[in-house]
Amino acid sequence: MFRAQKRRVVSRSNVNLGAEVGREQNYPQRLNLYLTPPLLEITLDQFEEWAIDRLRVLSEIETCIFSNRTFKQIEASIKPLLDEYLPLAPNSSTKSSKLLDDERRKDHYSHFILRLAFCRSEELRRRFVKAESILFRLRYTTADVSEQHALLSQHDFGWTQVLEDEKQELHDAFIFATDTAAAPSEKSVTGESYFKVPFERVPELIENRRVLLKNGDAYVPSSLQFSLVLSEFSEHLDRALETTARALPRLDEDDRLVPILNQLSRGFIAPEYNPENTSSDFGANGAIRAEQVDALVQHFPLCMRSMHQALRRDNHLKYFGRLQYGLFLKGIGLSVEESLQFWRQSFAATTGEDKFNKEYRYNIRHNYGLEGSRNNYRPQGCQQLLNSSAPGPNDIHGCPYRFFSEDHLSSALGELGIRDRGMLSQIKIDVDNKQYHVACTRVFEATHKMLPHVKMTVGTGVGMESITHPNLYFDRSLRMARESKAAEKVEG
Ligand code: SF4
C-alpha cells in the first residue's frame, strides 16, 4: 500500500486487510464506505502527510463533540478544514478527473492509515468510529441523491424491500406505531417505500419511536434510510478495527511505520496550542519578568490561578504543581533566569538559598532543556492535565474542574465573580458530563463578556474557539484586555 525508498512496507501479507496489492483502483464517485482497502504503494511522506491532514479534521470533530455542538454547528466548523485538508469534489465539479481521483485516493488511503493507528485500544477505536461516523454523515447529507444512490448500490446491506401488498396490509400500523409528532400522514405512507431490517440494527429509530416493529423486524421508510446507512457504516468500521488490531502485531516488524503510527494516535486530541505561535508578545522567551507575574494572574485560567494562590499562601508548591505551573510560566514568556528568580523569591520564606539551589534549581533548569535529557519541554495542555493523576492531600495540580469538590469549585468560581445561579448550574452540568474544558470555556465567556469594545472569539457558540490549553486561555484573555483598552483610548 505504501512505498518508501523503493521498498514496500505495508502489504496484504503483513496487515491482512483482505485485498490484492498492486492493482489500480478507480474512484468513479466521491462517497466511500471504505469496504475495500487501498491497493497501491505510496511513499512514506504521503503516508504521514495524508494521515496528518485527516487527523486535523477528526481532531476538530472531536473538539466539537467535547463542546457539545449541534450537527449544524459541527458542519460549520469542519467545512473550512475539509476544503483545505481533505477536499472531495463531486463529479459535477469543474476539476479535472485526475484531480478528482487524487482527492478521492487521499481520502481513501488516509482513512485506512488512521485505522492502523487507532485500532490499538478500545478507547481509541470508540473515538475513531465516532469521529469518522460524523465525517461520513457530513459528506452523505451534503451529497446529492444520485451520489447517495451510487454509494448504496455498491453494497448489499441485506435490507428487504417491503412489497406493495404487505405495505397496504400495514398501512394503519405505519401511522399509529410511531410517536404522534413523527407520525406519517396517510398520503406520505402511500407515497413512501419501506425496508425491513432486524430491529437491533436501528436502536436510535426504535428509541425515538420512529418506526414500526413487527416480529423482530423494524420497518424503516426510505426517508429515514440514512440512519440505516450510518449504523451499517459504524458497525462495519468497528468490526474492521478489531480485525486490524488482531493483525497489527505483524506490523511491529516495520521500524519505520510503528513510530509514525504511535505519533498519530497520540495526536488524536484537540489540536495542540503552541505558545510559540501566540498572537501576543507574551510567549516569547524573556518577554516577562518575575515581578510581573502577580499582575498577570487575572488572565490565568482557574488551574494556574489556584496554583499561584497556593504558592503565595504556603510559600511552597509540590513537585507536580511546580512542573505544571513552571511550564505554563515558561509558555507565557518567563526566561530561565526570571523563572529561577520567581521560584527563589516565592520560596524565600520557607527555603534558604542553599536548600533552593540544591533541591529546586535543577528541576527548573530541566524544564528549559538545560539539564538531564535536555528536552525543551512544552507547557502541558488541558488533555494532559485532565488525564493526570488526582492530586494528593495538600497537593495542587491538574484541572480544578475535574479534581475540585463541588463546594471548593463553587467558592473558587465565586472568587472569579461568577455568582449567577443559572451560570453556576450550567457549569455544574458540564462538570457532571465530564466536559471540563467546556466548563472552563464558559467561565472564560462569563468573565470576559463585560469587556467593552471587543468581540468575543472564545466561547461555547458556533464557530467560537474552545479552551484546550491553559496558555491559550492566557493569550486570549490578555489580547482581549489590550484590545479593549486600546479601543477605549481611541474613543476617549
Ligand atoms: Fe486549566 Fe484546561 Fe482545566 Fe481550564 S480546562 S482549568 S485551562 S486544565
Q: What is the pLDDT of residues 115-151, one digit of tens each?
A: 998 898 887 888 899 999 999 999 999 998 888 888 8
Domain range for 406 is 275-491
413 with 439, same domain: the answer is yes
pLDDT of residue 413: 96
pLDDT of residue 491: 72
pTM of model > 0.85: no
Give the position, in ligand 1's atom list, of the atom nearest the Cα of 472.
7
The helix/strand/coil state of 476 is: helix
What band does 13 get if pLDDT is binned at 50, 70 and 90? very low
Q: Is the predicted pLDDT of residue 324 greater than 50, yes or no?
A: yes
282 with 205, same domain: the answer is no
In a domain, 8, yes or no: no
What band does 408 get if pLDDT is binned at 50, 70 and 90? very high
Give the position, in ligand 1's atom list, of the atom nearest the Cα of 385.
8
Pairwise CA distance, residues 44 & 2, whole Å: 7
* Helix spans in 416-469 (H): 421-432, 436-448
Q: Is the predicted pLDDT of residue 207 greater than 90, yes or no?
A: no
Q: Which of 327, 438, 473 to mutate to test the pocket of ligand 1 (most atoms within 8 A of CB)?
A: 473
483 with 336, same domain: the answer is yes
pLDDT of residue 267: 55
81 with 130, same domain: the answer is yes
Portion of the chain with pLDDT greater than 70, in percent = 86
- Note the pLDDT tens digit of each residue in 334-346: 999 999 999 999 9
What CATH number should be reported for the domain holding residue 249?
1.20.930.80
What band does 372 get if pLDDT is binned at 50, 70 and 90? confident
Q: Which of 327, 436, 468, 475 to mutate to test the pocket of ligand 1 (most atoms within 8 A of CB)?
A: 436
Distance 356 CA to ligand 1 centre (A): 29
413 with 466, same domain: the answer is yes
27 with 90, same domain: the answer is yes
109 with 125, same domain: the answer is yes
Give the position, in ligand 1's atom list, of the atom nearest the Cα of 437.
5
Distance 195 CA to ligand 1 centre (A): 48
pLDDT of residue 283: 54
In a domain, 452, yes or no: yes
The helix/strand/coil state of 69 is: coil
Give the position, in ligand 1's atom list, of the atom nearest the Cα of 440.
4
pLDDT of residue 3: 38
251 with 279, same domain: the answer is no
Yes or no: say if 465 and 326 are a contact pair by the CB < 8 Å rule.
Answer: no
Query: Using CA positions, which residue lies closest to atom 6 of ligand 1?
Result: 303
Q: Is the predicted pLDDT of residue 16 greater than 90, yes or no?
A: no
Looking at per-residue pLDDT, the higher value among 175 and 300 belongs to 300
Distance 312 CA to ligand 1 centre (A): 20
76-90, 218-232, 249-263 — which is least confidently predicted?
249-263
In a domain, 6, yes or no: no
Yes or no: say if 288 and 296 are a contact pair by the CB < 8 Å rule.
Answer: yes
Element containing residue 393 per DSSP (H, E): none
Pairwise CA distance, residues 119 & 9, whole Å: 19
How many structural domains does the chain have?
Answer: 3
Residue 233: left (phi > 0), alpha (psi -120 to 50), or beta? Answer: alpha
